[in-house]
Amino acid sequence: MTDSMNIEPTATQRRIIYQARRGLKELDFYIDPYVKLHYLQASDEEQAAFATLLNYEDPDLLLFFLGQEMPQEPEVAELINKLKELRYAKD
C-alpha cells in the first residue's frame, strides 16, 4: 500500500479534503480515516463518489452511516459501506 502522505494532491483533491472536514464527531469518525489513508490512492470513480457524498448535508450523512437511510447513488452507498468497514476493521 502506498503511503498517502507521499502523493501530492491536485487542487481539486485539496478542495475535497478540506470539504471532508465536517466538524461533527460522529461523521469524522468515519470520514477522517478514509481521507488520511485511502482517498488519494482511490480510483477516479471512488474519488468522484466521495465528492458526491460530501455534497450531502450532515444530518443526511449521519442517517447514512447509521444505516437508517441510504443515498440514491449506488456508488455513494457502496462507498459508505466501505468507510464503515474500514472504520470497524481498524478497531
CATH number at residue 62: 1.10.150.250
Q: How many CA atoms are closer than 13 Å to the CA of 59, on its beta-carbon side?
A: 0
Asked, for residue 17, whether it belongs to a domain, the answer is no
- The answer to whether the beta carbons of residues 53 and 71 sit under 8 Å apart is yes
Average pLDDT estimate for 40-63: 97
d(CA 62, CA 67): 9
Q: How many domains does the chain contain in total?
A: 1
Strand extents, DSSP E, the chain: none
Q: Quick one: pLDDT band at residue 23, thresholds 50, 70, 90?
A: confident
Q: Quick one: pLDDT band at residue 1, thresholds 50, 70, 90?
A: very low
Asked, for residue 12, whether it belongs to a domain, the answer is no
- Could you tell me the pTM of the whole model? 0.87
- The answer to whether the beta carbons of residues 13 and 40 sit under 8 Å apart is yes
Asked, for residue 81, whether it belongs to a domain, the answer is yes
